[in-house]
Amino acid sequence: MKARPIIRLLTCGSVDDGKSTLIGRLLVETDSVPHDTLSTTKKVRRPGSIIPAGEIDFSLLTDGLEAEREQGITIDVAYRSMSLLDNRRLIIADAPGHEQYTRNMAVAASRADIALVLVDATRGIRPQTLRHLTICSLMGVEKIMVVINKLDAMNFDEGVYQSLIAELEPTINRLGIESISYIPVSALEGDNVVYKSDRVKWYSGGSLLDEIQNWREKPNTSGHSLSGHSRMGVQLISRAENFRGVSGTVSQGEFAVGDEVIVLPSQRKARVSRLASFGGDIEKAETGTAITMVLEPDIDATRGDFIERASDFTVPADRFSAHMVWLGEEELIHSRSYYLVNGSSMVPATVTTIRHRLDINNGEHESVRTLGMNEIGLVEIATDAPVPLTKYSENRNSGNFVLVDRVTLNTVGAGMVVHALRRATNITKHDYEINKAVRATQKSQRARVIWMTGLSGSGKSTIANALEKKLFAAGIHSYILDGDNLRLGLNKDLGFTKEDRAENVRRVAEVSKLMVDAGLVVIVALVSPFKVDRDHAREIFDPGEFVEVWVKTPAEVCAERDPKGLYKKAREGNLPNLTGVGQEYEPPTNAELVLDGTTDVSANVERLLKEIL
């Protein structure tokens, strides 16, 4: 039995524009609501509701969370479905209007075919209206319907309707939205929602339901793909007595038995010897089909890999330009490592550059160093390993990603790939015969980095100096990378904000890696206050090469020592970002060594020597 075609519809706009009421009425008047649910909406009332008892509160049909009913706002995205006259299924997503929950709306927009952007005629165009229009445009929503609601409160004045359209048109034109329509409605009284209203005789278009039913997906865009790729994400490795296969759902294109395919990002090739589905073996698998693909030869593929036809495949890259909707409560910090997730694949990634922030009111590109919650910008991203991301404009599934905070595992950003950067394919790693192991053997030592972290004044530099003297006397080739010394040269352009500290740690880690590759013992004395930055530094080294040492000294002792006068400046208000005073310090949770910064320096050095020698 062939599956019914699905249309995904998103409703968005600012708080109290009437989204929930509009969708509730649409569901009720198309007989898409169970009778017992409808009965409840006649009894339950929101605080401060003006709807008389016994009448339907349409908004309750989509606001399912208790917190939403108590506050009278939509927090989560509520999903409902209904059938259209031509047997297509309509999945309706009622997105929250409050700016705090823009992340929920952005996720729903990434899958929507149609977006209803509501405007309250009594309040006019608001910033959240423009933000939602911008996100819908970036997310590739194919059809946008601007629904001008509450016109009953304005006596269905055509002048009000036309003035709102005129106010929106500069934004619509700037965003390049081509498929756009405007519909005057009263969600509360039902005008132009399901049926045409006699009270809006000046409007020649159809009702909202008419406009939805008249929409047709553009031909040859199945799976929202404009490219010729065939792709399947590997979700599971299936093993049985007589075969081993890779399982997943074909997200675009098709595969057939005998096709030559390529596994990404490894770029190993094989042929499809068998396609197994729930109903048995098949010769061809089209978009949306869940299959197990048996490859010949049985090359290595793991969960998170992608399979494409070898004749036309996505070249993996590790540098991308992307539009970013920042969703995290903390600001985006460039040079900090996040997890980049696309489908079932996950790889560490760093935002290397913020090209600009988009002003949603006028479209201007603003030069910034960070993005705040719900802000939109153009960024450049570097991944730790090549990933086969496509342009978002060509495929919404393979061109989108989210950024996940590595500590909290919260989703903090939604990205749409503009293109892979040319530098991703123009750079080649060269391996030389004289390598790290040979260089360390020549020096009769084991190369590694001793990364000492702690508050300013904890004693890191003092311990590092004493340690290097001991190593030098023992014939060990070593070098100290001191935070202050590096800020006099390599890092002189960096300040002490979170993003600058992240970049400071990244640069020191990369220099340390080069020195370890040279066969040296590297001693790093760096505050490096944030755990996620230190963890990312650890990841670029081979196992056992990175020794994290926490010089644990009470803050009051550090302030009393105050060898550089920093705590005095902080007390006077002249140093707002001093770690431990104006900026937090995150202690290590898995340090190889913890040194007491109040004890004798020689005792701490002896402990370090046991770790190194």
Catalogue the active-site residues. Answer: 528
Both tokens of 36, joined, read: 């017992």
Contact residues for 445 (Cβ-Cβ < 8 A; gap 6+): 476, 477, 519, 521
Amino acid identity, residue 80? R
CA dihedral 512, 500, 134, 25 (to 10 degrees): 90
| CA 555 – CA 557 distance, rounded (Å) | 5
Both tokens of 260, joined, read: 């030559």
Both tokens of 197, joined, read: 């209203």
Residue count of the chain, please give it: 613
| CA 312 – CA 353 distance, rounded (Å) | 31
Phi/psi at 101 (5° precision): -110, 30
* Closest C-alpha among 377, 363, 373 to residue 168: 363
Q: Are 585 and 559 in contact (CB under 8 A)?
A: no
Quickly count helices (H) and strands (E) in the chain: 16, 28
Question: Where do we find the tokens 């009913």?
Answer: 69
**In this structure, how many other beta carbons lie within 10 angstroms of the beta carbon of residue 504?**
23
| CA 304 – CA 232 distance, rounded (Å) | 10
| CA 370 – CA 495 distance, rounded (Å) | 14
Secondary structure (3-state) at 284: strand
Q: Are 342 and 265 in contact (CB under 8 A)?
A: no
Query: Which run of H or of E encompasses 175?
Result: helix 158-175
